A and B are shown apart, each in its own frame.
Chain A
Amino acid sequence: MAVKDQVSMPQQDPKVRIKNFDEVALGYTEEMALEEASRCMNCKAMPCVKSCPVSVNIPKFISLIKEKAYIDALNVIKENNALPAVCGRVCPQEKQCQSTCLFSKMGKPIAIGRLERFVADYEINQGIKSQVDKPKDSSLSKYKVAVVGSGPSGITVAATLATMGYSVTIFEALHKTGGVLRYGIPEFRLPRNILDRELEYVKSLGVKIFTDIIVGRTFQVKDLFEEGFSAVYVASGAGTPKMLGIPGENLSGVFSGNEWLTRVNLMRAYKDEYATPLPVSKKTVVVGAGNTAMDCTRTALRSGAEEVTIVYRRGRAEMPARAEEIENAEEEGVKFNFLVNPAEFLGDEKGVLRAVKCEKMELGEPDASGRRRPVGTGEYFEIEADCAIVALGQNPNPLIRTTTEGLKTESWGGIIIDEETGMTSIPGIFAGGDAVTGEATVISAMGAGKLAAKGIDKYIREK
């Protein structure tokens, strides 16, 4: 039997989209969703569920799509995932649920993410409010759980516990909610109205969210226990950016990926009427090849950069970004310079970046990550640039670990947790997401939240 091809999703034309911040991928129509859903064999082994970090019952929701019961399908997802419209857009499905699909070997896995997005958007477009029909345990409402950070991990813990019946309060350090979903992921990948709606849903579950509160600074974790909370979940996310440690790194015009993205995404600096400045670059160099790097290239283009180049010390095959993001960046005209490592940022007489001096690399023996280690060749050249964005990842946020006595962390700063329960070295304090793992994906942070919610529930019940 010939396997039908995946139904492709319409996108904005690259020539048009590099001039706007509107969403690139336009989503399935109902017909497309039905056609794609019809390809699902509903196989008994359900490998997709096993490779979903939050164990969404994928075959079940796809079956409901086939029956046109879209809201029911959405509710199936929401049993395990509070953010379907987000995950349908930003999860690396090709590395997770779709990677184990029976049709994956033929390169034609069911487009699970697109279908997830379709049902989430269906609800929005129809103006319906879905409701998860799980009875709350009212005896749990006297237990209060504090969550540090309103990013994907914090939201997941909060939504999961609130659904069980706990009283949950989120403390967010920034002036807006969503964490990396707001400051990190650009709106052309995750429109702000979609994010706002997901956050409204979390609030509708009874979760209280406070912005502008920096746990570890405004007050300490121990204060939360002293003032009525039974458990605390630390999902404080990313901390200081990893830089290269090369000369010229602090010249004007050199940004960390997170500074660049925060300016564009959180502060909307690309719009004139917003007060936060953003330089108009002619030639931008982005260092790194992960998803953050791709986001940096594409926001740079949309903010007016004439030429954007990625420099990456390994080869094309080693790029850690999602294939889809790399493809999008290429379509939009981003240039890729492989096997090239920045050695120095060169400034003009005013201390402003004028070029990046790079060394040509070649691939040697595999390193600890299993990828072939890039080795310097001793051959150098310069790339002209007035803006450089270093997108090499982040260290875990230091605020909680440096202010919470007795909290055990890894040498690189990640909070150490029990892998079964998410509990840290201090009873009652749980942690997950980038604060534990260093920079990872939205869905893995959500998976950690899912796990910790169970851990917190168990901890409170046994106490």
Chain B
Amino acid sequence: MFKTFDGHICTLSQIEPGSLDNKIIKKRYLSETNVEMIINAPLIANSAKPGQFIVICNNEKGERIPLTISETDKEAGTIGIIFQMVGRSTIELGAMKEGDVIMSLAGPLGMPSEIENFGNCVVIGGGVGTAIAYPVARALKNAGNNVKVIIGARTESLFILVDEMKAFADEVILTTDDGSCGIHGVVTDPLKELLEKGNVDRVVCIGPLPMMKAVSEFTKPYGVKTIASLDPIMIDGTGMCGGCRVTVDGKTKFACVDGPEFDAHLVDWDGLKTRKSFYREYEAKQKEMAIKEAK
């Protein structure tokens, strides 16, 4: 049962084509390149859990891109996404306005985050990955954990969701590469302190690949279970194409159905990095095209 955008309560057998449009309800810039969108998606809002993602294809010639769900509102029938405009598809998506309809949006995909009372959790968000860390951190808090949040950014203006995290987290620690805000350094600096104190039961880290790899290497000697949310190249996102293969513990896993979260200590980070960078030249060309078109 769900509410359509015009306020009708509807059952699955009553849906008419057109009653489920992916209309952008709200759009705001969290920083110069990070955009938040609240989108009408009542069915997904009903079933999405923290850690899951959607796949968007925003025009006839577009590609299918996975984006993590940053929030859900069952009552309003909406979901939120936060993304960085880094390539053709995210630039095109970012150019869409409130009231526009996204051509295709499907989800929720992937396995939900493992949420239990683990004890003391440290949730680390890097860059736009903070948007993915946010619902996971909040769910961990709601499950009774002590949740410390570390957010890293290049510089102060790139921080997102700091106030939102502060609203529930037991502690929020900020780090910047340039020292413009919080600790002058990287996320592993405050993490080290917390690990040294010895009362960390679980680490969840979501951010750029080099950051997640660094965190993983950092926590390994301490024997603290560390979860990373991976974002390999993906196409269908439903477990059909196998494009999102990652090697975990020497075995091939499919991030879209087995993940996207995996035990960071078992992930073949270098293999993932090469797979992710395979299309770099093509992506750069596509981005240029998108920037030109946007102008």
Residues of A within 8 A of B (CB): 144, 146, 169, 173-175, 183, 208-214, 217-219, 223-224, 227-229, 237-241, 243, 245, 249-253, 255-256, 258-259, 262-263, 266-268, 273-277, 279, 347, 350-352, 394, 397-399
Contact = CB atoms under 8 A, between A and B. Distances in A.
A218 B43 contact: yes
19 contacts: A175-B64, A208-B17, A214-B106, A217-B109, A223-B12, A227-B1, A240-B240, A250-B275, A251-B271, A256-B242, A258-B240, A258-B242, A267-B63, A275-B63, A275-B89, A276-B235, A277-B286, A347-B274, A397-B239
A241 B242 contact: yes
Nearest to B109: A217
A224 B12 CA distance: 7
A264 to B, nearest CB: 11
A263 B108 contact: no
Nearest to B274: A351
B63 A169 contact: no
B254 interface: yes
Binding site of B, secondary structure by majority: helix, strand, loop or mixed? mixed
Interface string B156-178: 00000000000000000000000
Given A217-B107, A259-B242, 11 more contacts: A175-B64, A183-B240, A227-B1, A228-B13, A250-B246, A251-B275, A258-B241, A266-B236, A267-B64, A394-B240, A399-B239
A229 B252 contact: no
Interface in B67-125: 88-89, 103-109
Contacts of B13: 144, 146, 169, 224, 227-229
A251 B44 CA distance: 34
B20 interface: yes
Contacts, number: 159
Contact of B274 (A213, A218, A224, A252): A252
A298 to B, nearest CB: 19
A275 B15 CA distance: 31
A55 B277 CA distance: 51
Contacts of B241: 241, 256, 258-259, 262
A295 to B, nearest CB: 14
Nearest to B245: A250
B235 A275 contact: no
B91 to A, nearest CB: 11
Given A251-B274, A259-B241, A275-B286, A210 B64 contact: no
A240 B63 CA distance: 20
A175 to B, nearest CB: 4
A250 B247 contact: yes
Contacts of B62: 274-275
B270 interface: yes
B243 interface: yes
Contacts of B286: 275, 277
Nearest to A211: B104
A214 B241 CA distance: 15
A218 B235 CA distance: 18
A227 B11 contact: yes
B257 interface: yes
Contacts of A169: 13, 15
B12 A249 contact: no
The number of chain B residues touching the other chain, given as a range, is: 35 or more
Nearest to A179: B240
B252 A262 contact: no
A222 to B, nearest CB: 11
A211 B245 CA distance: 25
Contacts of A238: 240
A194 to B, nearest CB: 19
Given A210-B15, A258-B241, A267-B63, A277 B108 contact: no
Contacts of A258: 240-242
Most buried by B among A252, A259, A266, A275: A275
A175 B104 contact: yes
Interface string B224-240: 00000000000110111
Nearest to B282: A277
A450 to B, nearest CB: 24
B47 interface: yes
Most buried by B among A173, A217, A224, A245: A217
B218 to A, nearest CB: 23
A217 B12 contact: no
Most buried by B among A240, A253, A262: A240
Interface in B142-157: none
B80 to A, nearest CB: 17
A209 B274 CA distance: 39
B232 to A, nearest CB: 10
A430 B252 CA distance: 31
A378 B20 CA distance: 58
Contact of A274 (B61, B103, B106): B61
Contacts of B270: 351
B278 A240 contact: no
A214 B238 contact: yes
Contact of A351 (B64, B103, B104, B271): B271
Contacts of B243: 255-256, 259, 262
Contacts of B201: none
Contacts of B278: 252-253, 279, 352
Contacts of B1: 227
A144 B11 CA distance: 12
Given A169-B13, A218-B44, A228-B12, A212 B257 contact: no
Given A173-B106, A214-B109, A250 B252 contact: yes
